[in-house]
Amino acid sequence: MPKVTLAEKLAQFETHWDPHVVADYNDNDVMVVKFQGEFPFHSHAETDDFFLVLEGEMIMDVGETSTVVGPGELFIVPRGDVHRPRSEQECKVLLIEPKGVPNTGDPATAAAKPRI
Amino acid sequence: MPKVTLAEKLAQFETHWDPHVVADYNDNDVMVVKFQGEFPFHSHAETDDFFLVLEGEMIMDVGETSTVVGPGELFIVPRGDVHRPRSEQECKVLLIEPKGVPNTGDPATAAAKPRI
């Protein structure tokens, strides 16, 4: 079934920084994720990183620049840019990354990205 | 500025079936578009077609199957599938397609996809 209700998928897990794949778009994983706290600074040499805030508010730090991103706002980190998302309160995000890309920039510490 | 407020972009045009590019994600155009009425049936042999409803409701016809897609719902049409979106009332959508893909499946009738 190609329709995906994002809120239903987000209701299926509680964990933070734990992206879950909900659909495929060409060679990309389309994921939902919940952020709370600070993610480590990292970069992806080979790909842009797509974030769309669905609920709550995240702060995206890119180098020394911090941007508040709220619902209905998109933030695409250009490839190679060192960045970290963070959020004091829980924030729900749609994330798109090419398949096989480690979310931390490092396969040793990357999330599993289970499919739901 | 990598942050994009989708509602601000949608407020910049009134036309239907007229996707506007608001960001780049790797080799893809990230677009906002307003639907009202019926789009022609078409397919894209080389790419999936990504739709996320932001406001209103669209019906996606894929072959003889019709699916109602509302806000916060994603519909990704698999490559090659004949489809058309339609909507009685105006519907606002986030659309992702590889750069250079004609939105109608045919370069002769494709929208210009201006950048805003």
**Residue A79 maps to a domain:** yes
**Other Cβ atoms within 10 Å of B59 Cβ, number:** 16
Supply the pTM of this predicted model. Answer: 0.96
Residues 6 or more apart from A44 whose CB is under 8 A from it? A77, A79, A80, A97, A101, A105
Q: How confident is the model at residue B105 (pLDDT cuts 50, 70, 90)?
A: confident
**Residue A93 maps to a domain:** yes
**Residue A12 maps to a domain:** yes
**Residue B104 maps to a domain:** no
Tell me which chain B residues have a C-beta less than 8 angstroms from the C-beta of A74.
Answer: 3-4, 6, 22-23, 30, 94
> What is the count of structural domains for chain A?
1
Q: Is A4 in Cβ contact with B72 (below 8 Å)?
A: no
Domain that holds residue B24: 6-98
Q: Is A23 in Cβ contact with B76 (below 8 Å)?
A: yes
**Residue A82 maps to a domain:** yes
Q: Is the dihedral of CA B53, B81, B59, B89 positive or negative?
A: positive
CATH number of the domain enclosing B92: 2.60.120.10
Cα distance from A97 to chain B (closest Cα, Å)? 9
Minimal CA–CA distance to A24: which of B47, B59, B27?
B47
Q: Is A4 in Cβ contact with B73 (below 8 Å)?
A: yes
d(C-alpha B56, C-alpha A78), whole Å: 31
User: What is the separation of C-alpha B55 from the centre of its chain, rounded to a whole number of angstroms?
Assistant: 13
Q: Is A24 in Cβ contact with B75 (below 8 Å)?
A: no
**Residue B110 maps to a domain:** no
**Residue A91 maps to a domain:** yes
Which pLDDT tens digit goes with each residue over B59-72? 999 989 999 999 99
Which pLDDT tens digit goes with each residue over A31-41? 999 999 999 99
Cα distance from A112 to chain B (closest Cα, Å)? 22
**Residue B114 maps to a domain:** no
